[in-house]
C-alpha cells in the first residue's frame, strides 16, 4: 500500500506545514501539494468524475472551458493537470474559487451538480484551493520503492548489456572494473563507441521508422527518389551500375535517417539534432546518387559518412535555379517521408501523427479518444474545424501537418517551395503557436525546434531505449476504483519515477543519448533477476514489470551466439551469412519492416522449432571445432580435454569428474552468464546428462564393436567455424572414440536451448 493509503487523511488547512497525523506515536507525514493532488484530488475527484467532460475529447472543451485535464495516457499528465487545476483554483467569484462553486451547482456548470457542499469531494477540493493559495513546503514523496528485488551484480549487468548492444562479452578487465556503478558506466562508455553499438542503435530506431522495408530488393529505396531532382537515381545512371554498387547505394539511401541518428551519437552531438540538424549524411555511394560534392577519405568505404545538404536544380520562371532542401533532421529525410506518406486528402496528417508518436510519446487518437457519429458531421461545412467530435484531434494534428506543407502529395520526397497551405485547415504551428507566414518555407525546421524543446521529446527517447533494452511496456496509470488500484498505481509510480529521473538526466546532459542507455542498464528494470521471497498479491503486481525475461530478437540472438561460441550460426561453410537474419528472421518473431512490423515477444511453436534447430546445429558446429584450438584461445572448453573421462575401465576417476564438472561451471558462465560451483544442483543435472550420453555411446560401441566412430560430417572439427575455411589435417578432430565430443555436444544443445540463453 502507498504511504497515503496507510494513514487517515486530516483535511485541515495547515498552510505551509500541512501534515498527515496517524493518531499514534509516529511523527506526522508531510504531504506535498503535488502528492496531495495525485492521491486525493485526482484519485478521488477529478480522475473519477471531472475527467469525463473536462478533456480535449469532452463536452467542456466544446464550451471553451479553461479547466481541461489530460487523460492518464498523456505523458506527464499529473504534472500538467496539477498545474492547470492550480491555475483554475485562483479564479474566484465573490471570494470563492470556481473550483468549489461549479461542481456544487452554486454557479453555472454544464455538468450540473456533482456533489454537495461539505461532502468528502468538496472538502478535498477545499483543501486543494487552500494549498494553492498557500503552497506547502513539503517535498514530493519519492516514487514507490522496489524492495526485495535481487539484482545482477556489476559484471553480469555489463555482460547482459554488452551482449545486447555490441555483441561481445566483457573482457576480464572490464568485469573487474564493473564492481560498482562507476565501473559499469566507464565500461559502457567505451562499448558505446564501438561500431557494433551504432548497428544496435540503427536497429532500435528502425523498429520505429521501418525504412528497412526498402531493402527488400536492390534499388527499391533509390527508385522512390525523384530522378529529375537527383539524376543519379535514374535508370540511365544508377540502373547501369553493377549489382554490388547498386546494393550499397540503395542501402545508404534507405538507411539515411538511421545513419543520421548514428552520426549524431557517434560525434557526441545533442540528440535533439535528430530533428534539428540542418544537414543529412551521405557515404560515397549515396553521395553519387544525390549528386552532392562531398570529398571522402576513401571513396570505396561504405562506412564513411559525411555531412551535407541536399540540393537540386529547378527551372523557375525560365531561369535555372539551385535549391537547397530546408533540412529538419529525420523529418526531411526522403525515406522517412516515403515510409509515412501523405495523399491529397490526408494532407500530412499521417506524418503528424507519427511525429507525435515517435518523438513526443503521444498517441493522438488515444489522448483524444471519443466515439464519432459520422452522420452528424454532414451538418458541418468543415467538420475538421467545426464539428466538436472531429476538431478534438484535428486541432492538435492539423497545425503540425501544416509544417509539412511544402512536400508534394504524390511524390513524397519532392519539395516544392511554391506550395501553399489549405486556408480551410488550422494554421500551421505547434502547441498553440502559429508559424509566421513568412517562415512557411522553413516550416519544418521551425517545428523541429519546438518539438525538441517539449518535455515529451526527452520522454519519448527515454521510452524508446527503455522498451528496447528491457522489452517491457510502459505502464499506464490505473483507473481509480479498479481492482488492486493502489498496487497498480505503485507499480506505475515506480516505473514512472525511474523514467522521469533518466529523462531529467538526459536533458541536463545536453541530450547525451548515452546517458539514457546507462540509466536504463543500471535500473532494476534491466538488472532484476528474482525476488527475495514469494511474490504474492500487491508485491506480485509491483514487481510484474521488473526484470526482463525478454525474448531475444533474431538480431540479438545471432550476436549472442557468435559472442558466446566464437562462431556464427552460418548457412554453410561457403555462405557465412547468419541463418537467423536470412532464413529465420520472420519465423523467429522478427520483422521485415514491410508487412511484418511488430516483433513477437512470446515464443510460438515455429519459434520453438527454430530454437531447437539452432541449439542442435550450433552445438554440432562449434563443439569439436573449439577443441581444435589451443586451450587458452577456446571460448567453450578452455580447461578440459576430450580425454577427460568420469571413469576408466569401470573405475570412477575423481580427476576426470572434477575436470568435467569444472568445464560445466565454465560453460554455464560462458553460455548463460550464471556463476555456479562444481557441486550445485544445476551442475549435477548437466553432469548427469553428460554421463548418460557418454554411457549410451559406450554401450552402443560394446554392442557394435566394428561401428564407425567418426563424427557426423557437419559436426567434425574440420573447418574453422568462424570462416568456413578448412583446418590443417593435423589440427582436425573428425573422430570421437571415447564419445566425449558427443557428450559435450549434448550439454551445449541443452544450454543453447535453455530459455535463459534465448531470453535476456
Per residue in 678-731, pLDDT (tens digit) is 999 999 999 999 999 999 999 988 888 877 889 999 999 999 999 999 999 999
What are the distances in angstroms from CA 406 to CA 342, 414, 415?
Answer: 12, 8, 6
What was the pLDDT predicted at 759?
A: 94
Cα–Cα dist 308/488, whole Å: 49
What are the backbone dihedrals phi and psi of residue 713, each rounded to the nearest 5 degrees, phi first?
-55, -45
Cell of 721: 567455424
What was the pLDDT predicted at 17?
A: 44
What are the distances in angstroms from CA 120 to CA 43, 124, 388?
Answer: 13, 6, 33
Cα–Cα dist 663/736, whole Å: 18
Per residue in 138-162, pLDDT (tens digit) is 988 887 777 788 999 999 999 999 9
Q: Which residues touch 749 (CB under 8 Å, ≥6 apart)? A: 615, 616, 619
Domain boundaries along the sequence of the chain: 15-133, 149-191+455-543, 203-324, 340-453, 606-758
Percent of all residues in the chain with a pLDDT value above 70, rounded to a whole number = 93
Mean pLDDT of 451-479: 95
Cα–Cα dist 323/311, whole Å: 6
Cell of 332: 526531411
The DSSP bridge partners found for residue 430 are 433
Cα–Cα dist 744/690, whole Å: 7
What was the pLDDT predicted at 15?
A: 40
What was the pLDDT predicted at 392?
A: 74
What are the distances in angstroms from CA 566 to CA 469, 534, 561, 569, 711?
Answer: 23, 38, 8, 10, 21
Neighbours of 738 (CB within 10 A): 17
Task: Name the pLDDT band for 371 (thresholds 50, 70, 90).
Answer: low
What was the pLDDT predicted at 543?
A: 87
What was the pLDDT predicted at 566?
A: 97
Q: Which residues touch 303 (CB under 8 Å, ≥6 apart)? A: 195, 283
Q: Which residues touch 228 (CB under 8 Å, ≥6 apart)? A: none
What was the pLDDT predicted at 536?
A: 78
What are the distances in angstroms from CA 543 to CA 3, 538, 539?
Answer: 18, 9, 6
What was the pLDDT predicted at 5?
A: 31
Per residue in 536-571, pLDDT (tens digit) is 788 888 888 887 668 999 999 999 999 999 999 999
Neighbours of 295 (CB within 10 A): 8
Listed residue (172, 254, 178) closest to 212, CA to CA: 254
What was the pLDDT predicted at 8?
A: 30
The DSSP bridge partners found for residue 312 are 323
User: Are the C-beta atoms of residues 572 and 719 closer than 8 Å to each other?
Assistant: no
Q: Which residues touch 391 (CB under 8 Å, ≥6 apart)? A: 383, 384, 385
What was the pLDDT predicted at 704?
A: 86
Per residue in 101-141, pLDDT (tens digit) is 988 888 888 778 888 999 999 999 999 999 999 998 898 88
Amino acid at each position: 500500500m502507498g504511504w497515503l493509503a496507510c494513514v487517515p487523511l486530516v483535511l485541515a488547512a495547515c498552510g505551509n506545514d500541512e501534515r498527515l497525523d496517524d493518531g499514534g506515536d509516529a511523527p506526522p507525514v508531510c504531504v506535498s501539494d503535488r502528492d496531495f493532488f495525485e492521491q486525493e484530488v485526482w484519485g478521488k475527484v477529478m480522475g473519477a468524475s471531472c475527467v469525463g467532460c473536462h478533456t480535449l475529447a469532452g463536452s467542456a472543451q466544446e464550451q471553451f472551458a479553461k479547466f481541461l485535464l489530460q487523460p492518464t495516457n498523456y505523458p506527464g499528465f499529473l504534472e500538467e493537470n496539477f498545474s492547470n487545476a492550480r491555475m483554475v483554483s485562483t479564479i474566484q467569484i465573490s471570494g470563492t474559487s470556481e473550483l468549489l462553486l461549479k461542481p456544487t451547482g452554486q454557479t453555472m456548470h454544464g455538468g450540473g451538480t456533482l456533489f454537495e457542499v461539505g461532502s468528502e469531494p468538496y472538502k478535498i477540493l477545499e483543501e486543494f484551493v487552500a494549498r494553492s493559495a498557500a503552497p506547502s513546503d513539503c517535498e514530493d514523496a519519492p516514487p514507490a520503492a522496489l524492495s526485495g528485488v535481487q539484482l545482477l551484480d556489476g559484471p553480469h549487468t555489463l555482460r547482459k548489456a554488452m551482449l545486447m548492444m555490441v555483441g561481445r562479452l566483457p573482457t576480464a578487465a572490464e568485469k573487474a572494473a564493473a564492481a560498482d556503478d562507476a565501473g559499469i558506466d566507464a565500461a559502457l562508455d567505451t562499448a558505446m563507441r564501438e561500431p557494433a553499438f551504432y548497428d544496435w542503435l540503427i536497429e532500435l530506431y528502425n523498429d520505429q521508422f521501418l525504412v528497412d522495408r526498402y531493402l527488400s530488393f536492390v534499388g527499391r529505396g533509390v527508385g522512390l527518389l525523384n530522378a529529375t531532382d537527383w539524376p543519379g537515381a535514374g535508370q540511365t545512371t544508377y540502373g547501369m551500375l553493377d549489382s554490388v554498387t547498386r546494393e550499397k547505394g540503395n542501402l545508404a539511401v534507405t538507411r539515411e535517417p538511421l545513419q543520421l541518428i548514428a552520426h549524431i551519437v557517434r560525434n557526441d552531438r545533442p540528440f535533439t539534432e535528430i530533428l534539428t540538424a540542418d544537414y543529412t549524411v551521405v557515404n560515397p555511394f549515396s553521395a553519387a546518387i544525390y549528386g552532392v560534392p562531398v570529398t571522402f577519405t576513401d571513396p570505396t568505404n561504405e562506412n564513411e559518412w559525411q555531412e551535407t545538404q541536399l540540393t537540386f536544380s529547378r527551372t523557375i520562371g525560365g531561369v535555372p535555379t539551385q535549391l537547397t532542401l530546408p533540412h529538419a533532421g529525420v523529418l526531411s529525410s526522403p525515406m522517412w517521408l516515403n515510409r509515412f506518406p501523405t495523399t491529397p486528402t490526408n494532407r500530412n496528417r499521417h506524418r503528424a501523427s507519427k511525429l507525435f508518436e515517435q518523438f513526443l510519446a503521444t498517441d493522438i487518437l488515444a489522448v483524444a479518444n471519443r466515439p464519432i457519429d459520422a452522420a452528424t458531421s454532414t451538418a458541418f461545412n468543415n467538420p475538421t474545424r467545426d464539428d466538436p467530435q472531429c476538431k478534438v484531434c484535428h486541432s492538435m494534428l492539423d497545425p503540425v501537418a501544416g509544417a509539412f506543407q511544402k512536400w508534394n502529395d504524390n511524390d513524397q520526397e519532392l519539395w516544392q517551395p511554391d506550395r501553399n497551405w489549405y486556408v480551410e485547415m488550422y494554421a500551421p504551428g505547434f502547441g498553440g503557436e502559429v508559424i509566421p507566414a513568412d517562415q512557411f518555407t522553413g516550416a519544418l525546421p521551425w517545428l523541429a525546434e519546438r518539438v525538441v524543446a517539449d518535455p515529451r521529446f526527452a520522454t519519448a527517447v527515454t521510452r524508446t531505449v527503455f522498451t528496447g533494452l528491457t522489452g517491457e511496456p510502459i505502464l499506464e496509470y490505473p483507473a481509480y476504483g479498479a481492482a488492486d488500484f493502489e498496487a497498480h498505481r505503485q507499480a506505475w509510480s515506480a516505473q514512472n519515477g525511474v523514467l522521469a529521473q533518466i529523462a531529467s538526466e538526459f536533458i541536463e546532459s545536453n541530450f547525451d543519448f548515452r546517458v539514457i542507455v546507462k540509466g536504463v542498464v543500471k535500473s532494476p528494470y534491466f538488472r532484476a533477476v528474482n525476488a527475495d521471497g514469494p511474490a504474492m498479491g500487491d508485491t506480485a503486481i509491483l514487481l510484474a514489470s521488473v526484470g526482463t525475461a525478454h525474448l531475444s530478437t533474431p538480431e540479438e540472438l545471432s550476436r549472442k551466439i557468435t559472442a558466446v561460441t566464437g562462431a556464427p550460426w552460418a548457412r554453410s561453410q561457403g555462405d557465412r551469412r547468419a541463418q537467423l537474419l536470412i532464413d529465420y528472421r520472420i519465423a523467429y518473431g522478427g520483422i521485415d519492416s514491410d508487412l511484418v512490423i511488430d516483433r513477437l515477444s512470446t515464443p510460438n511453436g515455429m519459434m520453438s522449432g527454430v530454437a531447437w534447430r539452432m541449439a542442435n546445429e550450433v552445438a554440432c558446429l562449434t563443439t569439436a571445432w573449439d577443441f581444435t584450438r589451443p586451450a587458452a584461445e577456446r571460448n567453450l572448453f578452455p580447461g578440459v580435454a576430450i580425454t577427460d573421462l568420469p571413469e576408466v575401465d569401470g573405475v570412477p576417476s575423481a580427476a576426470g569428474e572434477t575436470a568435467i564438472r569444472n568445464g560445466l561451471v565454465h560453460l554455464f558462465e560462458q553460455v548463460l552468464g550464471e556463476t555456479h560451483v562444481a557441486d550445485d544442483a544445476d551442475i549435477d543435472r548437466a553432469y548427469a546428462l553428460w554421463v548418460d550420453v557418454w554411457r549410451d555411446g559406450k554401450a552402443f560401441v560394446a554392442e557394435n564393436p566394428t561401428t564407425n566412430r567418426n563424427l557426423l560430417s557437419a559436426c567434425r572439427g574440420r573447418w574453422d567455424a568462424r570462416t568456413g575455411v578448412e583446418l590443417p589435417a593435423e589440427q582436425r578432430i573428425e573422430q570421437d572414440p571415447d564419445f566425449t565430443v558427443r557428450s559435450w555436444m549434448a550439454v551445449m544443445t541443452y544450454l543453447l536451448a535453455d530459455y535463459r540463453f534465448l531470453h535476456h
